């Protein structure tokens, strides 16, 4: 049976990569969300469509999915993705995706948004803080930006960041992330050689406990 942790492990590498891409795009611009149009504006020059994920209440450390918001009919077009998450959770028995509201004890709202973005096709998310909490929404990027392959140094950064912040299955996370980035993996004992059609290659090594122990890579033609 698929669990929320399984999904998180599968999607977290790609989620980190997408967050880097979104951060590069919007920089330090401010944000303004218009729920009447389903558009977020960053600064005065970037406008992107959104899909609502949910809201975090910092007062009581709780989460509410967008599909469970009492006012959802006012912005029904922008909770479609959230509803799909609920339907996926119902089909696979994943309580965190089907409970309308719950306390944020052992799961962070960032993890919830990462899984949402992964399940819904690989979409970055944004956390918009407000007094007493924050709203989380997915931000589909232009295709030319969203599908651009990451450079080797960014791939190494993503892997290093993920294993430093979360306790998870390093091998499952690494394999899922590299395959999402277009690599084919050849396992040679505790070392993996991963190559992409564009000439990028990555070598990752694991220790005897299956933990990521080393990362190296080369660019096209290097």
Task: For domain 152-218, give the CATH number.
Answer: 3.30.920
What is the pLDDT at residue 219? 58
Q: How far apart are CA 207 and CA 175, in angstroms?
A: 16
Supply the pLDDT for residue 188. Answer: 86
What pLDDT score does 222 carry? 37
CB contact at 8 A, 124 and 139: yes
CB of 37 within 8 A of CB of 74? Answer: no
Per-residue pLDDT of the chain (222 residues; tens, 9 = 90+): 889 999 999 999 999 999 999 999 999 999 999 999 999 999 999 999 999 999 999 999 999 999 999 998 898 999 999 999 999 999 999 999 999 999 998 899 999 999 999 999 999 999 999 999 999 999 999 887 776 788 889 999 999 999 999 999 999 999 999 999 999 999 988 899 999 998 899 999 999 999 999 999 875 533
Q: Which helix (H) or strand (E) holds 69?
A: none
Q: Decide: residue 174, CB within 10 A, 0-12 exposed, 13-18 middle, 19+ buried.
A: buried
Question: Cα(212)–Cα(188) distance, rounded to whole angstroms?
Answer: 14
Q: Please give the model's pTM, rounded to 2 decimal places.
A: 0.92
The beta strand positions in the chain, using DSSP E, are 31-34, 39-42, 46-49, 51-57, 62-65, 101-103, 125-130, 133-138, 184-188, 191-195, 201-206, 212-218
Judge whether 114 and 11 are in contact, CB under 8 Å. Answer: yes
């Amino acid at each position: 049976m698929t669990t929320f942790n399984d999904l998180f492990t599968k999607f977290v590498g790609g989620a980190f990569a997408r967050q880097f891409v979104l951060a590069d795009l919007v920089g330090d611009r401010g944000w303004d969300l218009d729920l009447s149009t389903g558009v977020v504006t960053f600064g005065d020059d970037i406008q992107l469509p959104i899909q609502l994920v949910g809201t975090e209440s910092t007062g009581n450390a709780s989460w509410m999915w967008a599909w469970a918001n009492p006012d959802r009919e006012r912005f029904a077009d922008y909770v479609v993705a959230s509803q799909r998450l609920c339907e996926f959770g119902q089909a696979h028995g994943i309580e965190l995706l089907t409970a309308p509201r719950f306390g944020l004890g052992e799961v962070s709202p960032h993890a919830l948004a990462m899984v949402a973005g992964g399940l819904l096709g690989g979409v970055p998310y944004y956390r918009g803080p407000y007094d007493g909490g924050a709203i989380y929404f997915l931000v589909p990027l232009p295709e030319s930006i969203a599908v651009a392959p990451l450079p080797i140094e960014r791939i190494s950064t993503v892997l290093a960041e993920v294993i430093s912040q979360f306790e998870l299955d390093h091998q499952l996370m690494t394999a899922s992330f590299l395959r999402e980035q277009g690599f084919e993996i050849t396992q040679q004992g505790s070392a993996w050689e991963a190559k992409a059609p564009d000439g990028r290659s990555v070598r990752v090594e694991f220790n005897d406990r299956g933990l990521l122990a080393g990362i190296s890579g080369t660019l096209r033609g290097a």
